[in-house]
Amino acid sequence: MDSERRAGGFETRVLLQALAVGLPGALLGLALLWAGPYSAGVRWTLAALLIVAWWALASTLQTRVVRPLRTLANLLSALREGDFSLRARPAPRLDALGQVFEEVNALGGTLREQRLGAVEATALLHRVIEEVEVAIFAFDDRDRLQLVNRAGERLLAAPAERLLGRSASALELAAFLAGEEERTLDHAFPGGPGRWDVRRSRFRERGLPHRLLVISDVSRTLRAEERQAWKRLIRVLGHELNNSLAPIRSMAATLSSLIGREEPPADWREDAQRGLEVIADRSESLLRFMAAYARLARLPPPRLAPLEVSALIRRVAALEDRLPVFVERGTAVEVEGDADQLEQLLINLVRNAADAALSTRGGVGGVGIGWRVDGAFLEVTVEDEGPGLASRENLFVPFYTTKPDGTGIGLALSRQIAEAHGGALTLDNRVPPPGCAARLRLPLKAAS
């Protein structure tokens, strides 16, 4: 009603202004008509025709002004309502009014394309949400469920029709909407128990706050990783145990047959001594292997304290006595870490680099160590001029080694120390070759 009243007021003003424009001419015509030698009948007839013409011209002008505005209002109303099919008739001449209609038509076409794109994107998003194997729930500001996908239906063992509109407490999900936004926990849902990764975030829809809850099952992934870890461990344990038990069993059988003879040979004492030495040697090797396994499995958590990097690296470089270790000049920097564990880590890297450098033809390869600050991290690089890595597949597999006297725990223990400090350890071939580069990244400040 208000819009109609405002529109009527505008049309009235246009009509009055049009009449005002023609008023001087009409008054002048009437004055000339009355001053002329005309009869009364002629005067009134011509006066009536003049007034009718004046009114008709004003009404025509009003229509020519108001009609395009009404058309434009109808087009904008259709756009506001989401109807992008209406178009204004192209003007015969591209004047100001024609440009306005052309721009409105172009706006309608653009909005139509955008709406089609939004509809297609929304349909794709809903399709992806339905197909992912992650339970997704969306709650409004009153914690009522507004969206759930198929994985969520399976998790709660109920169809969406029975879930939508219910509160989080009724669905027994209120506990997941409080506390930490990212966590992993064990829980039994109506769809089954398991270990779940829970993530929560916020978003707004139509200006209202909503909360998104994502629950994914990590039990299957963890079980697969555990199986792979057990397979690797059993393979390594079986290899090491066979290497030790096979000669022990062989020597035991030899000694048993030697003792069982009625007339032992003259050198039976030497044979028995050698057999016992083999058994003792392999038993000692097996004990060293078990001690190394216990050391890897029982690594204590690091005791963090401020640590000056330059002094640590120079101390480690001085421990290598087989060849000189070149230490690059770096900036003075401190990290928070366990000095004993980080020293052991760097000793392992420098020792491996020295072994690789000495394995080259003539043993003339070199070893270098340097460090730099990369953002919030310290990066320590240990490089050698050895033959490089033939394969990176088993680098960090515990007890895997290519050295005749190696234990196979050096790199595994080093990576475990690095990750316990919130860092990472990688090994790659140098570019350009030859040689290998070990990179240790540590946070400058320990995460709280």
Q: Both 177 and 48 in a single domain?
A: no
Residue 191 lies inside a defined structural domain of this protein? yes
CATH number reported for the structural domain that contains residue 363 in this entry? 3.30.565.10
Residues 6+ apart with CB under 8 A from 171: 145, 156, 163
CATH number reported for the structural domain that contains residue 188 in this entry? 3.30.450.20
Inter-CA distances, 327 with 20, 154, 315, 371, 424, Å:
97, 59, 11, 9, 21
Work out the pLDDT band at 45, boundaries 50, 70, 90. confident
Residue 425 lies inside a defined structural domain of this protein? yes
Q: Both 289 and 327 in a single domain?
A: no
Q: Both 260 and 142 in a single domain?
A: no
Q: Which of 157, 182, 217 is the last residue of a domain?
A: 217
Q: Whole-angstrom Cα distance, residue 314 to residue 6?
A: 86
Q: Both 68 and 153 in a single domain?
A: no
Residue 99 lies inside a defined structural domain of this protein? no
Q: Which of 181, 197, 217 is the last residue of a domain?
A: 217
Mean pLDDT of 140-158: 89
The Cα diameter of the chain in Å comes to 174
Helix spans in 36-159 (H): 40-80, 96-131, 150-156
Q: What is the pLDDT of residue 30?
A: 82
Q: Look up the pTM and report it.
A: 0.44
Average pLDDT of the residues of the chain: 80
Residue range of the domain that includes 184: 132-217
Mean pLDDT of 202-221: 84
Instruction: Verify cis geometry, omega within 30 degrees of 0, for the bond prior to 190.
Output: no
Residues 6+ apart with CB under 8 A from 138: 145, 146, 147, 148, 210, 211, 212, 213
Q: Which of 189, 217, 245 is the last residue of a domain?
A: 217
Q: Both 315 and 272 in a single domain?
A: no
Two tokens, residue 111: 């909005």
Sign of the C-alpha dihedral computed for residues 129, 130, 133 and 134 taken in this order: positive
Q: Both 213 and 227 in a single domain?
A: no
Q: What total number of domains does the chain contain?
A: 4
Q: Both 193 and 266 in a single domain?
A: no
Mean pLDDT of 378-395: 80
Mean pLDDT of 219-236: 65
Q: Both 292 and 318 in a single domain?
A: no
Sort strands 424-429 and 436-443 into parallel, antiparallel or unpaired. Answer: antiparallel
Q: What is the per-residue burial (b if ≥16 Cβ within 10 Å, else e) of 15-39?
A: beebbeebeeebeebeeebeeeeee
Residue 152 lies inside a defined structural domain of this protein? yes
Residue 89 lies inside a defined structural domain of this protein? no
Q: What is the pLDDT of residue 380?
A: 93
Mean pLDDT of 44-56: 87
Q: Both 157 and 138 in a single domain?
A: yes
Q: Both 251 and 284 in a single domain?
A: yes
Q: Whole-angstrom Cα distance, residue 380 to residue 374?
A: 10
Beta bridge partners of 203: 210
Residue 109 lies inside a defined structural domain of this protein? no
Q: What is the pLDDT of residue 440?
A: 92
Residue 213 lies inside a defined structural domain of this protein? yes
Give the model confidence (pLDDT) of 280-307 as tens digits. 777 776 676 666 666 656 667 888 899 9
Residues 6+ apart with CB under 8 A from 185: 195, 196, 198
Does 217 score more than 70 pLDDT?
yes
Q: Both 336 and 212 in a single domain?
A: no
Residue 179 lies inside a defined structural domain of this protein? yes
Q: Both 208 and 155 in a single domain?
A: yes
